[in-house]
Chains A and B, each alone.
Chain A
Amino acid sequence: MSAKTIPEIVPEAIAETNAAAEKLLVLKNLHKNFDVGSRSQTVLKGVDLTLSPGEVLVLLGASGSGKSTLLNLIAGLEYPDQGTVTIAGKSITELSEHQRTLFRRQHIGIVFQFFNLIPSLTVMENLLLPLQLNRMCQDQQPIRELLGQLGLLHIEDLYPEQLSGGEQQRVAIARALVHQPSLLLADEPTGSLDNSNAEKVSRLLFDQVRQRQQSLILVTHNERLAAHGDRVLRLNQGQVETEQAANQDAGL
């Protein structure tokens, strides 16, 4: 890894200007195949995409369209067969697995549909974990405030299994925000919730992101959520189909 060795990425590095400085995220020609059983299945076939700082992108698509894979590639959880992922000017596809993890823990927050919370840790501990991993100040007061903003009071000592599904997802959002990442990735965060709960949770998510000027990529098959995005993309059979200004289509 000598050739690729880079110094520990510090937040200032992101502010550094370079060719892609105005774009937080640049995806170029991403390809991804999966081997399932004996046959190989192409999930992504050359995805290009950019995201500006503070932009909220809604990624729509049917099941199996490659949404989650794309998100995983951006998060560095998976590795593309072809193409590059550049976040804040840093090409994460050139990083080692370890460096990618370090990058992710600092700059990216992730919310999945489920299995977000570590069952053997309390809510507070779950929220402290990203701070601990980033060796950040582990003051509990700001966390309580954050929980308050998300409408979660007096639950910090409970274990995930003691929470309702909606509460769990709100805690997951809180955890994705707590270390103030520049990019938030949400993969069907409300997919397992009933409509009213889903509405509540997604509203909170968008509010928080906008309030903090963070970028967000929200993956969903729920067309209604598209209205919240600055931009809406549709993924179909591994390719970005259309790009439209979300506000034009906004159902609101």
Chain B
Amino acid sequence: MVGLRLLPPLLLQANLGYFRKHPWLLMFALLGIMLGVAGVSGVEITNYSARKNFDIANEQLLGQARYRLSSEQPIAESLLTQLREHWGVEAAPLISRHVRLHNDTGPVVQLLGIDVFQLQRFGPMQEVPVSDGFQPRQLLLEPASVLIGEISYQRQQLKGAELTLFTDRGDRPVNIIGRIGAADDSRFSSLLLMDIGRAQQLFNMAGKIDHIELNIDDDKAQKIRQWVPAGIQLVSVQKSRGATENLTEALHLNLSAMGLLAMVVGVFLVYNTLFFSLVQRQQLFGQLRNVGVSQRELITYLLLELLLIGSIGTLLGLLAGLLLADQLLVLVTRTINDLYAVSPIEILQLQPWLILKVVAVGLGGALLAGLMPALHAVKTSVRSSQSRVLLERKSRQLSQRLPGLSVLLLLLALVLYYLPQTGIVGGYLLVTALLLAGACLMPMLVSYSCRGLAAIRSPQRGLVFSMALKDTERGLSRTAVALMALMVAVAVTVSMSLMIGSFRSTLDLWLKQRLNADIYISPQTRLPDDYRSLAPQIWQWLQDQPEIETLASYQRVSTETLGRQLQLFASDLPPQAQSGYRFKSRFKHRFKSTDVQQVWQDFQQPGHILISEPLANRHGLFRGDKIPLMTPLGVEEFVIAGVYFDYGDSNGRAILSPQNFSRYWHLKPGRVAGLYLKPEADIQSLLNRIRRLPEADMLRISERRGVLDRSLEIFERTFLVTDVLRLLALLVAFVGMLSALMALQLERQQEMKLLRAVGLSLKQRVLLLSYQGLLIGLLAGIAAVPVGMLLAWGLIEVIQLRAFGWTLFYELEWQSLLQAPILAVTAALLACVYPAWKQYKEHSSVPDQILKSPPSGRLQ
């Protein structure tokens, strides 16, 4: 703030005086930055926190080991002994399970069974405080003893040492013998530690462990990979870490984009407000320059002002962003939990660079928005008499160039569309280009509309209305930016609404087609990593039931392909179930369907697989291509029998026939049964009989409706995050419009005095204000509809496809479309209230003030 000392204090005071007179301008500028920054920081903090929490959870799980041995089934611990004895490598056992606290509805936490005496080499917990009196040997010596994170202990409001855990083996009492980590150390959130031996006891798995962690170099890893028995995979920890990161990548990206859109709208708002404040002060600047304030001083001052407004707005935005992030994180975490069944940590993580980034965006946005008008205002301020003329001329020149710019932007968008390799970034550039192209057309649209309307309307009938039309057209130098801001804000909300609506309806349709069995039966599971199958006798029993026409069976395992995690299904699909799958043709066009019959025939052949669209899109795979898949027998190549539309997992899914599955996996297929009943079957009596089965307690029996509802509910929750952001964008848009229009109207107060002197009645003046507001609001709102539709197309056809790999069905919801003009007009009318009230107040005050000192008094 060196500049501050060099500036004459009265220069500051003169400008401060201006803002004292027009506090609403200051408020709107601050609000614009605040909302923009709140959007960006809220999303960024949420994203960062969710990622960081994910990493923390991984770190707990993966420790510092470089490699890990895993298998679909628990591993014999003798393998560990062999590794230690024959290979002399550092190896540590690990049991990693999810359990619930208290009972089957309690919070999910991760239980790690570790060799407590190897913590230093493998655990992340070095120099971590632990509660008084705790000795690591206790974990070994005392039965069912656990260490719990202090943070969880406090958050879950646990008392004393006794705790019940719900495990896949039922309820187990454990004894908390110590608490680990500081009360705010999120690494220990949702975490229980046990000694490996005690964990084996808890899960009845003597002699078995889930993983072996290895501290070895890549050479040794190569050798050990050759050596380990079939069915056991050696994975680099880095890689499995990467795989879990991929899980949420797309979600975060989408959130980021929405945050950025909020910022773009925010910057438009700030630009608009600052522009106004500068135009209004042009006179002041002229006077100051006449007195001898140099350009440099004025620019320095304006920069300081910008920085100050930017800083305060950013600070406020950051605070609001934190509040927002606090809410968003809960939603995002829940989404991750719903979609990926991992135990998430819900803690806001802050990083100095993150704050810096947000501050840079906020200040940068303010400077970006304010710098050009500020420089312009200063440059033209010397000849105060002419500046307005110049300004209008300049902006008219600019608006003449805008349509050309618009065409260029559209061309850019087109190029980006045909360059899929530009990826998601290219996708967002494309959408931004579309948005700006639309915005650039606004001044022209207004100009033509005004002229058109003026031509239709007979002049003598609506004097005020024609005045409003002419004024609006001529005032484009002032109003163009506001118009563009309005249109951008509304179009963004429209496009988001359309995109989310399309997403919803696509998912809805997909679920309804896919979940078409009448009844689903699966083993009761309350924990994420339970892969138990339905008992064979239940399958047998089901086959004997007369009501059942046919059965479908499903099993799901997690595996890897092309460096990513993949959900693999082993499904036996009768024709009824097959009808729930739609296939993508080799060509992009989705209406041309492939030979479905052929697909299902191929599917049954050995070495064939069905893969989901996201997986296919990510790697450019088509029917007939080969795909490598990690199986317990090593990496095997499968021929793609078909690519089916799927929205369940952006990482992709794949289906094997049970026969193909059994060739590689020991795991039994048939975890879930889908029951297709005969048309006349009595579903209730069948359900009753199933419920009377001796194993019924261990079964989860769901009717189609219930499964569908539950699935939809989960997706609805996923949408909650986007809904919140959409609401935020809507709010920003609304406030933006309000402020832009209000600024417009208030700027006209001087003119109103003149009009009043000329003889316009209060009613006429208020009408004039309202007409103009309405006109601008309506034009922006209407223009936002096609632009929003175009944007939605970009979001769906380009961004969704590139980010998630799935094709959504573009659906135009008339509610979303109608929303735009309604929003715009409401804001426009609301924006007239205060200026109109001001008119009314003036009307009832001393009437002849305007005549007292013309013309100098007029403009002050």
A248 contacts chain B at the CB level, 8 A cutoff: no
B382 contacts chain A at the CB level, 8 A cutoff: yes
B384 contacts chain A at the CB level, 8 A cutoff: yes
A78 close to B292 (CB less than 8 A): no
Q: Which residues of A contact B16 (CB under 8 A)?
A: 120
Docked Cα-Cα span, A129 to B385, in Å, equals 22
Question: Given A115-B283, A121-B10, A168-B856, A106–B288 Cβ distance below 8 Å?
Answer: no
Residue of A nearest to B393 (CB): A37
Segment 645-668 of B: residues with Cβ below 8 Å from A: none
B853 close to A165 (CB less than 8 A): yes
A125 close to B10 (CB less than 8 A): yes
Chain A 107-141 interface mask (CB, 8 Å, partner B; 1/0): 01010101111111100010011101110000000
Residue of B nearest to A132 (CB): B8
Question: Given A77-B382, A160-B860, A161-B860, A118–B287 Cβ distance below 8 Å?
Answer: yes
Docked Cα-Cα span, A117 to B288, in Å, equals 9
Question: Given A72-B383, A119-B860, A165-B853, A130–B291 Cβ distance below 8 Å?
Answer: yes
Q: How far is the CB of B477 from chain A (nearest CB, A)?
A: 15
Q: How far is the CB of A141 from chain B (nearest CB, A)?
A: 18
Chain B 258-299 interface mask (CB, 8 Å, partner A; 1/0): 000000000000000000000000011011111111111000
Docked Cα-Cα span, A128 to B14, in Å, equals 12
Q: How far is the CB of A228 from chain B (nearest CB, A)?
A: 23
A129 close to B10 (CB less than 8 A): yes
Q: Which residues of B contact A168 (CB under 8 A)?
A: 853, 856
Segment 1-35 of B: residues with Cβ below 8 Å from A: 8-11, 13-18, 20-21
A105 contacts chain B at the CB level, 8 A cutoff: yes
B855 contacts chain A at the CB level, 8 A cutoff: yes
Residue of B nearest to A163 (CB): B853
B287 close to A133 (CB less than 8 A): no
Residue of B nearest to A192 (CB): B856
Grouping DSSP codes into helix (H, G, I), strand (E, B) and loop, the A interface class, with mixed when no group exceeds half, is helix
A4 contacts chain B at the CB level, 8 A cutoff: no
A120 close to B295 (CB less than 8 A): no
A132 close to B382 (CB less than 8 A): no
A78 close to B8 (CB less than 8 A): no
A110 close to B290 (CB less than 8 A): yes
Docked Cα-Cα span, A121 to B860, in Å, equals 12
A97 contacts chain B at the CB level, 8 A cutoff: yes
Docked Cα-Cα span, A121 to B8, in Å, equals 13
Docked Cα-Cα span, A48 to B736, in Å, equals 55
A115 close to B20 (CB less than 8 A): no
Docked Cα-Cα span, A98 to B13, in Å, equals 22
Q: Quick one: which of B10, B13, B17, B286 contacts A115, CB cutoff 8 A?
A: B286
Q: Which residues of A contact B679 (CB under 8 A)?
A: none
Q: Which residues of B contact A175 (CB under 8 A)?
A: 291
Chain B 770-790 interface mask (CB, 8 Å, partner A; 1/0): 000000000000000000000
A52 contacts chain B at the CB level, 8 A cutoff: no
Residue of B nearest to A113 (CB): B856
Docked Cα-Cα span, A101 to B300, in Å, equals 15
Segment 13-40 of A: residues with Cβ below 8 Å from B: none
A161 close to B857 (CB less than 8 A): yes
A105 close to B17 (CB less than 8 A): no
Docked Cα-Cα span, A88 to B310, in Å, equals 44
Docked Cα-Cα span, A35 to B16, in Å, equals 35
A105 close to B293 (CB less than 8 A): yes
Question: Given A114-B855, A120-B17, A132–B9 Cβ distance below 8 Å?
Answer: yes
B758 contacts chain A at the CB level, 8 A cutoff: no
Residue of B nearest to A105 (CB): B292
Residue of A nearest to B288 (CB): A118
Segment 34-71 of A: residues with Cβ below 8 Å from B: 68
A97 close to B295 (CB less than 8 A): yes
Docked Cα-Cα span, A233 to B293, in Å, equals 30
A98 close to B294 (CB less than 8 A): yes
Q: Which residues of B contact A204 (CB under 8 A)?
A: none
Docked Cα-Cα span, A118 to B286, in Å, equals 10
A164 contacts chain B at the CB level, 8 A cutoff: yes
A102 contacts chain B at the CB level, 8 A cutoff: yes
Q: Which residues of B contact A77 (CB under 8 A)?
A: 289-290, 382-383
Q: How far is the CB of A135 from chain B (nearest CB, A)?
A: 9
Docked Cα-Cα span, A75 to B8, in Å, equals 21
Question: Given A101-B293, A120-B17, A78–B857 Cβ distance below 8 Å?
Answer: no
B859 contacts chain A at the CB level, 8 A cutoff: yes
Docked Cα-Cα span, A132 to B18, in Å, equals 20
Q: Which residues of B contact A105 (CB under 8 A)?
A: 291-294
Residue of A nearest to B17 (CB): A120
Question: Given A77-B382, A120-B16, A164-B853, A101–B10 Cβ distance below 8 Å?
Answer: no
A120 close to B853 (CB less than 8 A): no
Q: Which residues of A contact B853 (CB under 8 A)?
A: 164-165, 168
Docked Cα-Cα span, A112 to B382, in Å, equals 13
A116 close to B10 (CB less than 8 A): no
Q: Which residues of B contact A114 (CB under 8 A)?
A: 855-856
Q: How far is the CB of B750 from chain A (nearest CB, A)?
A: 12
Q: How far is the CB of A62 from chain B (nearest CB, A)?
A: 17
Residue of B nearest to A165 (CB): B853
Docked Cα-Cα span, A89 to B800, in Å, equals 71
Segment 139-168 of A: residues with Cβ below 8 Å from B: 160-161, 164-165, 168
Q: Which residues of B contact A161 (CB under 8 A)?
A: 857, 860
B383 close to A125 (CB less than 8 A): no
Q: Which residues of B contact A164 (CB under 8 A)?
A: 853
Q: Quick one: which of A104, A120, A165 contacts B292, CB cutoff 8 A?
A: A104
A118 close to B292 (CB less than 8 A): no
B295 close to A101 (CB less than 8 A): yes
Docked Cα-Cα span, A104 to B275, in Å, equals 29
A98 close to B296 (CB less than 8 A): yes
Docked Cα-Cα span, A104 to B17, in Å, equals 25
Residue of B nearest to A102 (CB): B294
A132 close to B856 (CB less than 8 A): no
Q: How far is the CB of A172 from chain B (nearest CB, A)?
A: 10
Q: Which residues of A contact B291 (CB under 8 A)?
A: 105, 110, 118, 129-130, 133, 175
Q: Which residues of B contact A129 (CB under 8 A)?
A: 8, 10-11, 14, 291
Q: Which residues of A contact B287 (CB under 8 A)?
A: 115-118
B856 close to A101 (CB less than 8 A): no
A120 close to B855 (CB less than 8 A): no
Q: How far is the CB of B839 from chain A (nearest CB, A)?
A: 19
Q: Quick one: which of B8, B14, B856, B859 contacts A120, CB cutoff 8 A?
A: B14
Docked Cα-Cα span, A161 to B384, in Å, equals 19
Chain B 374-397 interface mask (CB, 8 Å, partner A; 1/0): 000000001111000000000000
Docked Cα-Cα span, A99 to B11, in Å, equals 19
Residue of B nearest to A68 (CB): B385
Question: Given A77-B383, A115-B286, A116-B287, A133–B856 Cβ distance below 8 Å?
Answer: no
Docked Cα-Cα span, A108 to B296, in Å, equals 19
Q: Quick one: which of B284, B290, B857, B860 contacts A112, CB cutoff 8 A?
A: B290
Docked Cα-Cα span, A161 to B853, in Å, equals 9
Residue of A nearest to B856 (CB): A114
Chain B 709-737 interface mask (CB, 8 Å, partner A; 1/0): 00000000000000000000000000000
Docked Cα-Cα span, A164 to B853, in Å, equals 7
B384 close to A128 (CB less than 8 A): no
List 13 contacting pairs A-B, 8 Å CB cutoff, sorted by A: A75-B290, A77-B290, A102-B294, A105-B293, A108-B292, A110-B291, A118-B288, A120-B14, A120-B20, A128-B10, A129-B10, A133-B8, A161-B857
The 9 lowest CB-CB distance pairs between A and B, nearest first, are A120-B17, A105-B292, A101-B294, A114-B856, A132-B8, A119-B860, A129-B10, A118-B14, A133-B292
Q: A101-B295, A175-B291 are in contact. List 7 more A-B contacts (CB 8 A).
A: A98-B296, A105-B294, A108-B292, A116-B287, A120-B17, A120-B20, A168-B853
